[in-house]
Structure 1
Amino acid sequence: MDEGTFKASVSDGIANTDRSSARVPEKTMSSKDGVHIVVCGAESTGKTSLITAAATESFPETVAPKLPVTRLPGSTLQDGADAFLIDTSSRQEDRAKRMEECHRAHVIVMTYAVDDLSTLRYLSRSLLPALREEGITVPIVLVGCKLDTRPDGSETSEAEIVDLMNDFREIETCLECSAKKLIQVSALPSVFRLIPCMLPVAPSTRPGQKGF
């Protein structure tokens, strides 16, 4: 990885793949209501810290269990809309609320911890299939958090990420960052500015998968 950025068909430090052949319209961005970016992922992967760092360019000494809706400064999008980050709880008992937020989302940020590949596999086995079961087809940005905690010499498997992006065409791009060290966090607004140009894809359903 170079500066915390996954390198596979990368443009300007952001992993990307061509999704154009599979796009279908689903949701219209509204400059009145803003773009809702829901942040979810495996437990303790740094969702709340990521939101705080992106919004304030600082790392919180004390992390709240869950943040209120947070506007992303300087994130005015191409259609004049503002971007709002919506934090979610990873607890099973909060699943209904989490899914409700995902249904309202224009974009979903899905987090994993770069020092714990089990959190990446959890996305592929649970969270991503659950979104498909719910018929949620908005663009997904995959974000690897806690880059500063990854052991020396260790590296997130690029092959696993490529496979994940191939299996789930909803994933538009992948970025690895550190909220604590503010590594690559500043790249997030640039990613979100591109999202209104992207139409979500229509995934195949996978009956029988467990929800999250």
Structure 2
Amino acid sequence: MDATMSMRRDVRILLVGEPQVGKTSLILSLVSEEFPDEVPPRAEEITIPADVTPEKVPTHIVDYSAQEQTTDQLKDEILRANVVCIVYAVDNDYSVQMITQKWLPFIHETVGEDLRMPVLLVGNKSDLQEESSMESIIPVMNQFPEVETCVECSARNLKNISELFYYAQKAVLHPTAPLYCAEEKELKVPCVKALTRIFTICDADNDGLLKDRELNEFQKRCFNAPLAPQALEDVKAVVRKNCPDGTRDNGLTLPGQGLTVACCNS
């Protein structure tokens, strides 16, 4: 069992963002599995029992409303949270601008410079715009290492709603910070040592390469299912593009394995 999971008894997720971006709708759509006809200014705190969450940990989802809460109450909620979801509307440029001009600085100020609160960026209302908002969001993710990922979703269409809260839970239970230094964009020394050990164990024929069969043996041991052939080729294609010595004879080298993990955390 993951050490973080064994210590963590529950997860508290806080949703913040500008008015009308759909924070409350996201919560209500998750709970009722349909878009609400009427949306209150703020949803009551929701607790999802452990037995219906992917990680089997009770999860509390908390809404924020500038209409009903003060700045001091917002600060208290941030300090109580394990992860903050900054919600923006993909069709509202102002709500995107406020991510860096307001919300991320406010979270920094609240938790202090010595602590890092994991943050997810949540692009709601994807049903209203065909173009992705990722072109605007990727620079934010590169600038602020506490941003774990970005999820585009639609409360109205129920698109990626479950995935949003799964990623928020995962950011708490399986944090990337112990493994990957986002500022330096490189794996940390203990992670490199662990990966080297894993590579040695998985390299059954001791040829210095992880061939498809060896990669799939590792995948089956960890996840009880092999990778699809196309998924294997996609991984190797990314490695070839970004690491000249990452592949050899159609297998992953040790540097290639390290790049694969770094790409998953960046």
Q: TM-score, normalised by structure 1?
A: 0.72
What is the aligned partner in structure 2 of residue 75 from structure 1? Answer: 53
Amino acid at match of 1:117: D
Match of 2:79 among 94, 103, 110: 103
Compute the displacement of 1:203 (Å). 10
Higher relative contact order (CA 8 A, sep 6+): 1
Distance, in Å, in 1 between the alignment partners of 2:68 and 2:33 is 30
Percent of aligned positions with the same letter in both sequences? 30
Letter in 1 for 2:126: L
Structure 2: any 5+ residue segments left out of the alignment?
1-5, 184-266
Deviations 1:102-154 (A, max 9, x none): 1110011110000012101111111101111122622111100111122x5x4
Whichever structure has more helix as a proportion of its residues is 2
- Does residue 194 of structure 1 match 2:170? yes
Separation in 1, partners of 2:108, 2:147: 12
Note if contact 1:29-1:35 (Cα within 8 Å) is conserved in structure 2.
Answer: no
Kindly indicate whether the alpha-carbon contact (under 8 Å) linking 1:138 and 1:200 is maintained by their aligned counterparts in 2.
no
Partner in structure 2 of residue 17 of structure 1: none
Q: Structure 1 169/161 Cα, relative in aligned 2: closer, same or farther at 3 Å?
A: same
Residue identity in the other structure for 1:118: Y
**How many Å apart are 1:162 and its aligned residue?**
1.0
- The match for 2:31 is 55
Mark the CA change 1:192 to 1:203 in structure 2 (over 3 Å): closer, same or farther.
Answer: closer
**Deviation at 1:189?**
3.9
The answer to whether 1:143 aligns with 2:122 is yes
- Structure 1 residues 173 and 167, CA, compared in 2 at 3 Å: closer, same or farther? same
Cα deviations across residues 19-54 of structure 1 (Å, max 9, x unaligned)? xxxxxxxxx9631xx211001011110000001112
Comparing 180-189 with 57-66, greater Cα deviation is found at 180-189
- Where 1:71 maps in the other structure, the secondary structure is strand
Deviates more, 1:183-192 or 1:165-174: 183-192
CA contact (8 A) 1:139 1:171 kept: yes
Gap runs ≥5 in structure 1: 1-27, 205-212
Residues 2-17 of structure 1 mapped to structure 2, 5 A cutoff? none
- The answer to whether structure 1 residue 175 and structure 2 residue 151 are counterparts is yes
CA 1:203–1:194: 2 relative to 1, 3 Å: closer
Conserved? CA contact 1:139–1:170, under 8 Å: yes
Structure 1 pair 63/30, CA: closer, same or farther in 2 (3 Å)? same
Q: CA 1:70–1:59 in 2, change beyond 3 Å: closer, same or farther?
A: same
- Picking from 103, 111, 115, the partner of 2:91 is 115
| C-alpha displacement of 1:200 | 5.8
* Aligned pairs, number: 170
TM-aligned CA deviation for residue 188 of structure 1: 2.3
2:71 maps to a residue whose letter is R
